[in-house]
Amino acid sequence: MANTISLINTGINSGTAVKLLNGEMTYGWKNRTLENPTDGTYGNVESQFSGWENPIINTTFYIPIDGVPSGHMTWALWNQFVKNAYDGTAGTQTKLTVTLGDNDTPFLSYAATSAATGTSIIPVQIKSFNLRFSPADSNNAAFWTINAQLVETK
């Protein structure tokens, strides 16, 4: 579990970071390759690197409906992030930050650049999400579980 996973958007929550309660995350990477098969032959062909697809970030977190801790995601805030109309400008961009370990080491993404240095402020767009609540998960379904898919963007 990450120490802190947060979303930030200048147009939501006055631009203050919103933490994801008990957030978990996976980061998916896929290279683009070119393969040129030769007609009439069987077997492996040469594969060449041609870039990468935008990374997919999956996160799971909880929204307690009875008393959300200060600074954490609420259902109302989540809907603002989901409906954010990102138009390619910094003013509508949602950013993800993740810190890990005892020293709050930032998670770095290297997708936005071919440089050797990464960024700890990752621009993302919410692609999809699922909401689950059940009395089997918590007393009277008091904890809602969000599974969200984010796509890293420019």
Q: How far is CA 89 from CA 44, 113, 127, in A?
A: 43, 18, 18
pLDDT of residue 136: 78
Give the CB-side neighbour count of residue 3, counting CA atoms within 13 A: 11
**Block mean pLDDT (10 aa), the chain, length 154:** 86 96 94 81 81 93 91 96 93 95 91 78 96 83 93 91
Answer whether residue 35 is part of any domain. Answer: no
**How many domains are contained in the chain?**
1
Residue 34 inside a domain? The answer is no
Domain with 100 in it: 4-29+45-152
Q: How far apart are CA 154 and CA 148, in angstroms?
A: 19
Task: Look at the chain and count its residues.
Answer: 154
3-state secondary structure of 119: strand
37 found inside a domain: no
Instruction: List the one residue out of 30, 18, 32 whose CA is nearest residue 76.
Output: 18
Is residue 121 a part of any domain in this protein?
yes
